[in-house]
Chains A and B, each alone.
Chain A
Amino acid sequence: MNMTQKRWLEIPILLAIIWFCQALELSIVHMPYYLGTPQIISLIVAYISFSRGWASTVLLSAVFAFIGSANIGYATGFFIAAHIWSALCTKTVVSALTLEGRPAFALLVAGYNFFLKSLTWTILKSVDASPTLSLFFAQFISQTLIMAIVAWLLFPFFQKWDDYFMHASDEDNLRQSTLLR
């Protein structure tokens, strides 16, 4: 299979995986006491900020947040903005520290979840629609733990995906052509 064929194949495969995971998130993968669900979109966006450049991080996080926003009860714009900001905050951490490997990615996903939860709560608070602080902390702790474990488990899969679709070479080309080198 050549590169062009792979590119055309990647999008439908990715969408199918996301939709299948979203169906699971909606129906059965729920934590008790309304503590939420670990979301595939958060994992993907965290991985993007871990492995891609600044421009790609913003663009791809916006696209994936848009895909994830269809099942959210509050305003779509809040959800997308929170994801892009969280991705940028995570990217800042990644560029400041030298992070590599599985444990680093798990920690980074935990950090991403912290940014996402805090930003979402703040944005929702501004329109008087935020949950109570106790719920925020309960959701934050439970989701961060589970997301970190899932991230640790899925890290090799993400890496294999990147290798198969040769995203590393794309990223190098993009870095050379954009303002950020």
Chain B
Amino acid sequence: MNDELSLSTRAPLRLLKYNHRLQSKALMLFSRFFRRNRSLLFKVLLFLSPAIPLLMVKAPEMPSLRIYDRMQSWIVHPIAEVFTEATRGAAYVWDHYFMLVGASKENESLKREVENLESQLLSHEELRNENQRLKTTLAMPELPALSTIAGEIIGQDPAGESLAFFINVGSRHGVKPRMPVISPQGIVGTITRVYSHYSMFVAVQDPSHAVDGMIPRSRAQFITEGRGLSLTGRLKYLDRSADIRVGDLVVTSGLDKVFPKGLKIGFIIKVDRPRTGVTQNAELRPSADLSYLEEVLVVTNQKPVPTPPPAEENAL
């Protein structure tokens, strides 16, 4: 009986001992491997370390401002503003005092251009009056007059991968993230970072920027996306049957809830209809030329204007 018992307990004991021996051998092998290759393992860990800042990025959110960003804005941006102003001042002096050769010829041609534009203005005035009359007749609500803050461009993102610019208006002046930036020529970009006296906007030509657009002539709707170099944009999700031609004006549709409706984006410069597929491709040239921009306007009234009840107006 005892022999039987001892036989039944001896086998698991032997297994346990074997397991223990195996574990200690594995541990020894591991520790030897770590001791021999610790330098290599350390390097592997170092190469994996940049994954930490990568994982901390939250793509859909606006980049939040850290204490360092604010501190740097107090020092770097004013100096950059002084440099920009000094360069512009020097360029102004050069253009107005040293480059007067041919100014009289230019003056003459400009005078002729003004006369031409004045005649065009008269016809536009007629059209505006007609439009006003028709709108009143149809009791259509007026598009809200945009309230804006003027800002001067003081610098641009030095990296080159993104078309981001700094302007000299910030939260103190009422600027908030996601506010649209426009110019008399058309839309320019969207505010992404706001400091107390400065802010950063990303231009519509930047690859990360998209605007909901439409063609007033055919009412075709699509998304325009920046492409970076050559400062063009492309039209995404453009229905194959949409009527679109080279030279068409593209305006904002207002559906993205960022840009007000009817602002100029640019002109179609290329249309490509592939043999297959349900969409067509098109390229546009934005009407606001970044190379010559010095001042921009930040649109501050983005709240939807309540539509007046037309029935009451008609009744009155």
Q: How many residues of chain B are within 8 Å of chain A by beta carbon?
A: 53
Question: Which one of B153-161, B177-185, B247-255 is at the interface?
Answer: B153-161
Question: What residue of chain B has the Cβ atom nearest to residue A22's Cβ?
Answer: B76
Q: Scoring A residues 108 to 130 as 1 if CB is less than 8 Å from chain B, else 0, what string do you get?
A: 00000000000011011001111
* Residue contact B156 to A132, C-beta cutoff 8 Å: no
Further 15 A-B residue pairs, CB within 8 A, beyond A27-B81, A78-B53, A120-B159? A19-B75, A22-B80, A26-B80, A27-B79, A36-B158, A36-B161, A54-B46, A71-B155, A74-B208, A78-B54, A80-B50, A84-B53, A130-B161, A130-B207, A143-B160
Query: A46 near B: Cβ within 8 Å?
Result: no
Chain B residue numbers with a CB within 8 Å of A36 are 158-161
Which chain B residues numbered 48 to 96 have a C-beta less than 8 Å away from chain A?
49-51, 53-57, 59, 63, 68-69, 72-73, 75-77, 79-81, 83-84, 87
Are B157 and A73 interface neighbours, CB within 8 A? yes
Instruction: Pick the residue among A20, A77, A82, A139 that contacts B160 (CB under 8 A).
Output: A139
Our pick among A23, A58, A143 for the contact of B46 (Cβ within 8 Å) is A58
Least Cβ–Cβ distance between A82 and chain B, in angstroms: 8
Number of A-B contacts (CB under 8 A): 168
Q: Are A78 and B158 in contact (CB under 8 A)?
A: no
Q: Does the CB pair A76–B158 fall under 8 Å?
A: no
At the interface, is chain A mostly helix, strand, loop or mixed? helix
Assembled-state Cα–Cα distance A24/B155 (Å): 9
Q: Please report which residues of chain A, range 28-71, place their CB below 8 angstroms from some CB of chain B when the two chains form the complex.
A: 28-30, 33-37, 39, 54-55, 58, 62, 66-67, 70-71
Q: Does A85 contact B (CB under 8 A)?
A: yes
Most buried by A among B83, B158, B208, B290: B158
Would B73 and A70 count as touching, CB distance under 8 A? yes
User: Closest CB of chain B to A59's CB: distance in Å?
Assistant: 9
Bound: A130/B229 CA distance, A:
11
Q: Is the CB of A19 within 8 A of B76?
A: yes
Q: Does B192 count as interface, using CB distance less than 8 angstroms?
A: yes
Q: A55: nearest residue on chain B (CB-CB)?
A: B46
- Check B159–A84 contact: CB distance below 8 A: no
> Is the Cβ of A23 less than 8 Å from the Cβ of B161?
no
Ranked 9 nearest A-B pairs via Cβ = A36-B160, A73-B164, A73-B162, A26-B155, A135-B229, A131-B228, A23-B79, A77-B57, A27-B83
Give Cα A58 to B51, complex, Å.
Answer: 12
